[in-house]
Structure 1
Amino acid sequence: MEAEGSKKARVYEVDELLKNLKLSEAEREGVFLAKEDRESLPEVKWMAVGRLLTVRGFSEQSLEKTLRAAWNPAREVSFRSIEQNLFQVQAHCVGDWNRIMEDGPWLFRECAFMVEKFYGATPTPSVLPNRVQAWIQIHRIPPMYRTEAILKQLAARVGEVDRVEAKVVSFGNGYFHRARVKLTADKPLPRVVTFTPEGCESMMFVVMYEKLPKFCNFCGKMGHEHMECGTGEYAGTDLQFGNWMLASEASWHPSTPRVHWEKRRQESPSYELWTGWEGLGGKSSFEKMPPWKRNSGEAGLDNGKGNALEDSATSPLKPLLEGVEKSADKTGAQRHLNLNDVDLALVAIPLPPP
């Protein structure tokens, strides 16, 4: 591992050195490629560049392993480092390519791995990956304005629109429309979109996000948390963004891989401000979910009795053997059970298989 890391560091150092070299005329002349020869070159297919949206260091090996497991490719996918936190990814069939490019966001330690197409005409891309794919929900659009054209305009206020779903989705006591967008990584996440029909009052529609990477509750940008933003010292009223902006898992698009999201959403400092509005998919609507979609505590199955791990391994004979007494013989080396008070006829003991 150390040798591989040192090798990559040397490559980065050489690249920096080449930028400062004074080249001779012979070195500058090089090889010329005519336009017609360039156009006849074979197309580089299914290649992309990726970058992890984070301010922290990370293990490239762990990132690659996690992504390969998430992509679950049908054929080999090449993954190599171009420079620090910039990777070249190439699929070898269209199915793997579509999954990598369309089924994100791909998360590694709650940080987004952003991917963009790369045509391979330069050693490194001229534009670095800077967008995160996500499904968004726009809540409570009145029936009159539920046209595809208006939905696209509203979704475009959040990010670059890939597609919109005109069908209204009912959830809890509310409803929303869903759109697939690409969010700009270095801009705050929009919390609402404002809509103003001519001659009418403005309306604000709340935006909820499905499966987002971590983001800052202070500045609203993805890739870091508020305690890593500036000095990180902010009052509760300064945190104008929060995990309340995350939609409940039960309302996600069917194609989105599920994760344990409710805990993160409800840990937001601003969560309590929104639990009263059932249309947002907050606490009220989450509590209306059927028990099989919730964990035992949320479904009311624990009833607050004891530790969840208490008596996790027990015997079916235990209730019948409550009165069993243990005693030692004269040497104290042997023990026996007093089963006088137990009706063994009530105990169904299965016979071993033949």
Structure 2
Amino acid sequence: MANHNQKLEDLYSKLSIEDEDEGGIVLGADEEIVRKSTDEFMLVGRFLTEKNINFNAMQNVLASLWRPKQGLEVHDLGEQRYAFIFYHILDVRKVLEGGPWSFEHNLLVLQQYSEGDDPLSVALEESDIWIQIYDLPKGFASENVLKSVGNYIGKFVKSDPNNFKTSWKSFLRIRVTLQVCKPLKWRMKIKREGGNWGWINFKYERLSTYCFVCGMLGHADRDCAVVYANPEKEVERAYGPWLRAPTRNI
């Protein structure tokens, strides 16, 4: 972790008081680092769970996963929100582009902070994830089709550049922005004009805790409101572990 207090002390030591009549000061170059660390280098996040988070364990785990080159600070903002302060834009991008991230299987929903925002009011409702598409009919493998599929699941971000490098693959990959307050989608109907409907199926990479009953992220079956509303009934489970993509080296 970067020692933020030390940075501030170093900054103050570089303040140069000019002639009193002119009434100015000269700030050292580190002032820019401190300023940026509170806007474009800061991420605000929350974990998609109602459980209490062990703060010390969480920040140690994430620091070991992210390995920021220029340091990291984590602050508890209250209201189950956290500030992740970096000191280089490449460390920020690595975290945003490398997600989704989780702690104890609880999804971390992140948003880049913009100067002037209230960290406690930043909308934390979206998360990017890689999705594998299976059973796409022959002749449908095109960038336009993948964009349409991505926008059906959530909001299309990009395709895996390796999707079309070989003539046959068991699945194609797209990165999609999900609304975390909506159920996961696990299949989609598709057809050519005048043809018959078929189904394509989805698997989610590095998928955190989700409910096999309602398909929502952030809780398991035993905590589902649908289960609680029907304590004497056998509730149908439309989802299952098959929604998780096989582990792969990313």
Same fold (TM over 0.5): yes
Alignment of 1:258-269 (within 5 A): none
2:136 matched residue in structure 1: 141
Cα 1:235–1:151, aligned 2, differ >3 Å: closer, same or farther? farther
1:204 matched residue in structure 2: 199
Cα 1:174–1:235, aligned 2, differ >3 Å: closer, same or farther? farther
Residue 168 (structure 1) shift? 5.1
Q: Deviations over 1:296-353 (max 9, x none)?
A: xxxxxxxxxxxxxxxxxxxxxxxxxxxxxxxxxxxxxxxxxxxxxxxxxxxxxxxxxx
2:114 matched residue in structure 1: 119
| Inter-partner Cα distance in structure 1 for 2:232 and 2:122 | 34
| Inter-partner Cα distance in structure 2 for 1:235 and 1:132 | 33
| Inter-partner Cα distance in structure 2 for 1:168 and 1:207 | 18
| Inter-partner Cα distance in structure 2 for 1:163 and 1:203 | 24
1:84 matched residue in structure 2: 79
For residue 242 of structure 2, what is the amino acid of its counterpart? Answer: W
1:6 matched residue in structure 2: none
| Inter-partner Cα distance in structure 1 for 2:233 and 2:133 | 29
Q: In the alignment, which of 44, 47, 66 is matched to residue 52 of structure 1?
A: 47
| 1:192/1:205 contact within 8 Å kept | yes
| 1:169/1:175 contact within 8 Å kept | no
Query: Which is higher, the Rg of structure 1 or of structure 2?
Result: 1
| Inter-partner Cα distance in structure 1 for 2:195 and 2:232 | 38
| 2:44/2:122 contact within 8 Å kept | no
Cα 1:84–1:176, aligned 2, differ >3 Å: closer, same or farther? same
1:18 matched residue in structure 2: none
Residue 67, structure 1, aligned to residue 62, structure 2: yes
Unaligned runs of 5+ in 1: 1-41, 256-354
Q: In the alignment, which of 86, 90, 93 is matched to residue 98 of structure 1?
A: 93
Alignment of 1:1-354 (within 5 A): 44-124=39-119, 126-165=121-160, 167=163, 175-230=170-225, 231-232=227-228, 233=231, 238-249=236-247, 252=248, 254-255=249-250
TM-score, length-normalised on structure 2? 0.76
| Inter-partner Cα distance in structure 1 for 2:43 and 2:243 | 30
Cα 1:189–1:235, aligned 2, differ >3 Å: closer, same or farther? farther
| Deviation beyond 6 Å, 4+ runs, structure 1 | 234-237
| 1:158/1:183 contact within 8 Å kept | yes
Q: Which has the higher contact order (CA 8 A, sep 6+)?
A: 2
Secondary structure of the 1:154 match is: helix
2:16 matched residue in structure 1: none
Cα 1:125–1:84, aligned 2, differ >3 Å: closer, same or farther? closer
For residue 220 of structure 1, what is the amino acid of its counterpart? Answer: G
| 1:136/1:180 contact within 8 Å kept | yes
For residue 212 of structure 1, what is the amino acid of its counterpart? Answer: L
| Inter-partner Cα distance in structure 2 for 1:169 and 1:69 | 34
| 1:168/1:176 contact within 8 Å kept | no
| Inter-partner Cα distance in structure 1 for 2:144 and 2:42 | 33
Q: Deviations over 1:246-298 (max 9, x none)?
A: 1222xx3x42xxxxxxxxxxxxxxxxxxxxxxxxxxxxxxxxxxxxxxxxxxx
Cα 1:86–1:94, aligned 2, differ >3 Å: closer, same or farther? same
| Inter-partner Cα distance in structure 1 for 2:237 and 2:165 | 30
* Count of aligned positions: 209
> Among the aligned pairs, what percent are the same residue?
23
Residue 174 (structure 1) shift? 6.9
| Inter-partner Cα distance in structure 2 for 1:150 and 1:53 | 31
Give RMSD over aligned pairs: 2.3
Unaligned runs of 5+ in 2: 1-34
Residue 169 (structure 1) shift? 8.7
For residue 175 of structure 2, what is the amino acid of its counterpart? Answer: R
Residue 125 (structure 1) shift? 5.1
| 1:168/1:175 contact within 8 Å kept | no
- Give the strand-richer structure, 1 or 2: 2
